[in-house]
Amino acid sequence: MTDSAADVTPQILENRDDASQCWFARISTDLNLPGRRNKTQRTFPCVLQTSQERRDASLIEPSFDAKALSLSDIQAASEKGKTVLYLAYGSNLCKETFREKRGIKPRSQINVLVPSLRLTFDLPGVPYIEPCFGNSAMRDPDAMGSEDYHKDRWKKGLVGCVYEVTPSDYAHIIATEGGGTGYRDVLVDCYPLSDSDTVPEKPTTQRFVAHTLFAPPDKSHARPDPSYAQPSARYLNLITTGAAELALPREYRAYLNEIRTYTITTKRQQMGKVLFVSTWWPFLQLLFALNTQFQDDKGRSPPWLAQLATLLFMGVWRSYDGAFKKAFGDGERTEGDETSSKRGNGMNEEQWRRIGEENGWFRSNGKMEHMA
């Protein structure tokens, strides 16, 4: 029996609202708009490495239903002294994001490789300001890295950090990622990384599993070319800073440092940015305030607010595609940055070579080091 249109439409709208809430939760955490002041950088206590015993115990743990996780479940788990191993990646690698903004206090941590996942930058943000955010997707081991986009050239799995957190902290992570709407709690195989400068093609360390929140692709919120947009320098700096703080392998950090960031290069784009922010910032600010007031203890917004976020998302990107991009220029990718170019960021050959030498990317003969 086939579903009728009346049966299918509510589910489509629900999925779209869930995706909008994921988008809204992400930009409310990661977006840096006028009126938000950066705090003085804090220092955080060192965290011990996750024990082998705790990693072994993860192999028999079940996944959670992120939508159904209740306060009583959290309290019961806390009373039993249970903890959750949570896989963090992207901006959550940075202490400023994970430990300061989100207030998470990990008990232990360990750097890992996750062969089944890959890092993407396909979550739309706000044009001219934060064109895209980091996300994760299933990895095809046989797929070749893209030569068109620097951020797609990493051929190995996702490199991240597994934090051991309390049940209440994990519930807070779920809340700040949209309260489980659109996300599923999944268990992924993780392999501890050694102190080597390179990331192995095939891990040889002992497997354990960790929880992560995975959002399946949603075409209603995808851009025509999901890999087209470039992250802002501010956002990418959170990731590269976190990678350095965690001492992730040098090879992976070199890859992150080669990702090109979105840069406004014309007065026309600058004017477009000012007008775009002036147009949409009051609505975003109102939505932030409404969400703070009406979200439940799981971080979920009421249906009417989720639908409002859907309309806002559509308005932001339709106004950009239909008017702002044509009138003021590209708000997702640096203009003049050819996707097939081997050099970028508006630098000439000598500037690129000098930066490469300073970061150890070149041999003494000036040729690029091969990254396995």
Q: Inform me whether the pLDDT recorded for 122 exceeds 80.
A: yes
CA distance 207 to 60: 12
pLDDT band of residue 14 (cuts 50, 70, 90) is: very low
Assign 3-state DSSP to the chain and report helix, strand, coil percentages, each to 5: 40, 15, 40
- Identify the sign of the CA torsion 336, 340, 346, 350: negative
The domain that holds 203 is classified in CATH as: 3.10.490.10
- Residues annotated in the binding site for substrate, as ranges? 86-91, 235
Q: What are phi and psi of 289, to 5 degrees?
A: -65, -45
Residue range 194-198: average pLDDT? 94
Higher-pLDDT residue of 87 and 125 is: 87
* Per-residue pLDDT tens digits for 232-260: 999 999 999 999 999 999 999 999 999 99
Least confident of 87-101, 211-225, 307-321: 211-225
Q: How far apart are CA 208 and CA 18, in angstroms?
A: 30
For 126-153, the pLDDT digits (tens) are 999 999 998 888 888 776 655 566 677 8
Taking each helix axis from N to C end, the angle separating 167-176 and 71-79, rounded to the nearest 10 degrees, works out to: 150
Confidence check: pLDDT of 4 > 60:
no
Length of the chain: 372
Residues placed in the known binding site: 86-91, 235
Q: Which domain holds residue 109?
A: 10-258
The number of helices, as runs of H, and strands, as runs of E, in the chain is: 11, 8
155 part of a folded domain: yes
Please calculate the CA angle 60-61-66 and round it to the nearest 5 degrees. 155
Q: What does the alpha-carbon distance between residue 293 and residue 310 come to, in Å, rounded to a whole number?
A: 18
Lowest mean pLDDT among 108-122, 230-244, 272-286, 338-352: 338-352
The answer to whether residue 61 sits within a structural domain is yes
In a domain, 314, yes or no: no
C-alpha angle 263-267-272 in degrees, rounded to nearest 5:
80
Q: What one-character DSSP code corresponds to residue 320? A: I
b/e sequence 175-212, b meaning 16+ C-beta within 10 Å: bbbbbbbbbebbbbbbbbbeeeeebbeebeeeebbbbb
Nearest Cα to Cα of residue 127 among 211, 41, 31? 31
Mean pLDDT calculated for residue range 181-192 = 83
Is residue 350 situated within a structural domain? no
Question: Is the residue at 348 inside a domain?
Answer: no
From start to end of the chain, where are the E strands?
48-49, 84-88, 108-114, 117-126, 130-138, 158-165, 184-192, 208-214
Judged against a pLDDT cut of 60, whether residue 336 lies above it is answered with: yes
Residue 94 has pLDDT above 90, yes or no: yes
Q: Are 227 and 152 in contact (CB under 8 A)?
A: yes
Look at residue 261 and tell me whether its pLDDT is greater than 70. yes
Tokens 């788990």: give the residue. 77
Give the active site residues: 177
Q: Is residue 249 part of a domain?
A: yes
* pLDDT tens readout for residues 268-316: 999 999 999 999 999 988 988 888 888 777 667 788 887 888 888 889 9
Task: List, in order, residues 6 or more apart from 261 with CB less than 8 Å away.
Answer: 230, 231, 232, 233, 236, 334, 345
In this predicted structure, the answer to whether residue 112 has a pLDDT above a threshold of 90 is yes
Residue 135's CB: how many other CB atoms inside 10 A? 20
Asked whether residue 30 is domain-assigned, the answer is yes
pLDDT tens, position by position, 41-64:
677 788 999 999 999 999 998 776
Comparison of pLDDT for 168 and 66, the residue scoring more: 168
The CA-based angle 189-191-192, given to 5 degrees, is: 145
Residue 172 falls inside a structural domain:
yes
DSSP string, 115-158: TTEEEEEEEEEETTTEEEEEEEEE--TTPPPPSS-GGG---S-E
Q: Is 322 left (phi over 0), alpha (psi -120 to 50) or beta?
A: alpha
Residue 69 exposed, middle or buried by CB count within 10 Å (0-12, 13-18, 19+)? buried
Number of folded domains that form the chain:
1
